Amino acid sequence: MRALVTGAEGFLGANLCAELITRGHEVTATSLNRRNKTSLEALNVECRVEYGDVTDSAFIDRIVSSSEADWVFHLAAISIVRTAQANPALALRTNILGTINALEACKRTGAQALIASSDKAYGDHDGAEYVEGMALKPIGAYEVSKTCADHIGQLYGAIVVRCANLYGDGDLNWSRLIPNSMRLALRGKAPQVYGDAIHNKREWLYVKDAANAYVKLAEAGQPGAYNVGSGEQASPLEVANAICEMLNIDKPEVVEKTRDFYEIPEQKLNVDKIKRLGWRHEFNLSQGLKRTGAWYEGYLA
């Protein structure tokens, strides 16, 4: 099968490309810019990469058509919450218009579309477990933009994927908790966590489990929204403590700093729907962190 992955030089995109290639699929990737360091390069993934902006409908039309893709995994987005909050117009334009362009191109060619949404689209439901039929209550610019993409994807009959917090090999975004904590700890320094969010509960999903879920959903070909998670919650402080213990650092440093964007206090995903298709997560948080730590140790060396 032929697959097109937009936003492929990012963390999830690169891991998805690697998984598709391992399974014998032909992969074409897109990226906004040529950068010196990308997750594709960090993971040693070799595939055809086309450079362009997903908000350019002519670019997307050309790539979807020329790749002769059977599956289009649309991951290209403004995916950093802080970036979206600082520039809402950019986030809304990229995440909404880019999604429309990808879906319109798939409509013309007959390719099956898979759209990356987020568990953050659900918003705050007072700690209740997220179920796919639950109302989406976005708050910040990132959440609103992903919720719009989510609804648009379902309007076009696409498969919409709502993943938990991802971590793992190839994440070069040092503003995220786990990459930065790994980098600091491997240098003998204490990881840092923000004091205003240390006890917020998050569900953590190893990126290879997420990539497997995307492929499973593509193979099943059943449109609709799907939660993808591990069922394992942990606060930022608990994650940082686990990294410290694993890498023999005394304890994390709590930084008394208030974030400039809203954090949902607790997130938990019900994954019964995707389990009925035969998907199961393979790695728990402890296993995933050990694999991630080994990858960063090799990469940063």
Residue numbers annotated as active site:
142
Kindly compute the dihedral angle of the four CA atoms of residues 70, 2, 80, 37, in this order, to the nearest 10 degrees.
Answer: -160
Q: Which two tokens stand for residue 206?
A: 């190893």
Q: Are 70 and 111 in contact (CB under 8 A)?
A: yes
Specify the amino acid at residue 161. V
Neighbours of 151 (CB within 10 A): 17
Cα separations in angstroms, 295 against 43, 169, 170, 183, 185: 9, 6, 8, 11, 14
End-to-end CA distance of the chain: 36
Residue with tokens 């109302």: 135
Task: Give the integer Cα–Cα distance in Å for 118 and 149.
Answer: 10
Q: Which two tokens stand for residue 217?
A: 């959903």
